[in-house]
Chains A and B, each alone.
Chain A
């Protein structure tokens, strides 16, 4: 510790206080501006966990037979279809023609795009109209209460 120096003049004392004030407030403010984000960071956000590769598309008995449901998969829309036999199928709902969102037609028992009348069968194959490629298939399985859809491995 520095020995008890006599301050050279009365003017140095208030100067010292000001410098200490400046330093103190600067340090406190800067530390606060580091601690505050870190603390906020550690508090879990409302959406508790990252959406992973799989999504719960529906509950087990939500979809009737011969019906479909659009759901969000990652950043794109996807289509869950329950066939007349009760089987589940899932596809990317992005039409391969001009990216409109397709839908399930229970009268045609096929997947239909409302923009230009494109049709896909229940294996995702483009069977009629402008779509040049089949729909991307997604993996779907029933896990207990949930119908879970995943990216095709």
Chain B
């Protein structure tokens, strides 16, 4: 077994230098300290993304992206295709789980200050990946073409229209027209299976390469503890120790996904009727809830501006600040600025949790 492995490796090495990659992986280590557990979430997000790609490809074998056929094709997958119910439910549940783990990963990186020099670019590519993930969620949600999806998309793209200057153009670009129609479905499908995967692949490659290049960041407080001699710098080899643990996590995730698919299958709903009135209680997926709820609380007009516009601008500003945090908090050490940003982070997290809870009430 080991001999075979050696032979393959040599063969590959003679062709494109696989040996150095293998060397590198063999020596890659992961720091061990009380925050090590957070290191798993990046890999978990990646794993769930791979699950999305695989189940997505399988769904692609039967899905039809036109208003005449979209709902029926999903219904077909769920009822006629063997294990179609499983693939579809896993795809829908895994989407939500992936965004959840992505958020955990992002917040853990934020609070452990892993974005500080030299990892600013990793942070930025990661934030872009998060936005892409949200884009995946938003575009994919429409594809079954059921009532809930249709109206959630209507509301969501409507908000895009209130962006100043470019709003109208943006709305028409997203919807493929003035209203949400079959044209919207076609282009959301294009975004979901071609544009976003392409962008994601590029950014993911950059993100992963940077991580390999720069290694795992150690939180500032641990670094200081090591420097001051309270703690020893421990580490574990990535391969096989960390990887085996990673795999355990991935197996657990698979089990959870299977259970969710079998016990809480994703609903089919009713086919979207473009001329029907919106049913009561339309709301977006949970990861957009906090913004949705905020907009509900804002008054119609604030000073001279439209209330909704103020909300959107506020969130855009917050998002922009969040993306460039490494450049603002560039020491990310122990100073007041860093503590301020940690506080801001806690506020942001709390805000998201509280408003999402309020939206669900």
Contact = CB atoms under 8 A, between A and B. Distances in A.
Nearest to A47: B80
A85 to B, nearest CB: 30
Contacts of B112: none
B46 interface: no
Given A1-B2, A37-B86, A40-B83, A50 B68 contact: no
A39 to B, nearest CB: 9
Interface string A11-52: 000000000000000000010001001101111011101111
Given A34-B254, A41-B81, A50 B61 contact: no
Contact of B58 (A38, A47, A53): A38
B69 A50 contact: yes
Given A46-B80, A51-B72, 16 more contacts: A1-B2, A37-B83, A38-B54, A38-B83, A38-B87, A40-B82, A41-B58, A41-B86, A45-B82, A47-B76, A49-B76, A50-B75, A50-B77, A52-B64, A52-B68, A53-B68
A104 B87 CA distance: 43
A45 B62 CA distance: 11
A12 to B, nearest CB: 18
B81 A45 contact: yes
B173 interface: no
Interface in B58-76: 58, 61-62, 64, 68-69, 72-73, 75-76
B140 interface: no
Which of B54, B61, B83, B87 neighbours the largest number of chain A CB atoms within 10 Å of its CB? B83
A50 B64 contact: yes
B72 A53 contact: yes
A50 B76 contact: yes
Contact of A52 (B58, B72, B82): B72
Interface residues of A, number: 18
A53 B81 CA distance: 19
A52 B66 CA distance: 10
A52 B62 CA distance: 13
A50 B83 contact: no
B297 to A, nearest CB: 40
B76 to A, nearest CB: 3
B144 interface: no
Contacts of A45: 80-82
B264 interface: no
B77 to A, nearest CB: 8
Contacts of B81: 41, 45
Contacts, number: 51
B137 interface: no
A42 B61 contact: yes
22 contacts: A34-B254, A37-B87, A38-B54, A38-B58, A40-B82, A40-B83, A41-B61, A43-B82, A45-B81, A45-B82, A46-B80, A50-B62, A50-B64, A50-B69, A50-B73, A50-B75, A50-B76, A52-B64, A52-B68, A52-B69, A52-B72, A53-B68
A41 B84 CA distance: 6
Contacts of A42: 58, 61
Contacts of B77: 50
Contacts of A47: 76, 80
Nearest to B81: A45
Which of A30, A46, A51, A52 neighbours the largest number of chain B CB atoms within 10 Å of its CB? A52
| 3 nearest A-B residue pairs (beta carbon) | A50-B76, A37-B83, A53-B68
A52 to B, nearest CB: 4
B83 A41 contact: yes
A112 B58 CA distance: 47
B20 to A, nearest CB: 17
B24 interface: no
Contacts of A41: 58, 61, 81-84, 86-87
Given A37-B86, A38-B83, A41-B83, A50 B58 contact: no
Contact of B254 (A30, A40, A53): A30
Nearest to A38: B58
B251 interface: yes
A53 to B, nearest CB: 4
Contacts of B68: 52-54
B258 to A, nearest CB: 8
A106 B353 CA distance: 66
Nearest to A53: B68
B173 to A, nearest CB: 26
Given A38-B58, A42-B58, A42-B61, A53 B83 contact: no
A99 to B, nearest CB: 17
A47 B61 CA distance: 15
Interface string B311-335: 0000000000000000000000000
